[in-house]
Amino acid sequence: MNGKKLYQVIVGKHQKLAEGVIFTTGDIMDDYTRYFLEVAGRPFLFKPFTPDELKAVVRETLRQIARRL
């Protein structure tokens, strides 16, 4: 199962968990992938990424989740 399919399963079965999904991709950003990420509205990182980039995205995602609580 790829990340797109996994995300669709999470959205379908555990909507609240979908708020914490952060995508990573090493693929070339084709039109379908770009559209998918835009519609999903979740943050993403291109591989390779640094630990600092990952920490920043995780912190921001957690801040957004905390604001909704």
Q: Which amino acid is at 12?
A: G
Diameter of the chain by CA atoms? 36
User: What per-residue confidence (pLDDT) applies to 68?
Assistant: 87
Which pTM does this prediction carry? 0.86
Q: Which amino acid is at 33?
A: T
Indicate the burial class of 43 (C-beta count within 10 angstroms; 0-12, 13-18, 19 or more): middle
Q: Scanning the structure block, which residue is given the tokens 């979908």?
A: 18
Q: Does the pLDDT of residue 66 top 90, yes or no?
A: yes
Percent of the chain with pLDDT over 90: 78
Cβ-contact 10, 17 below 8 angstroms: yes
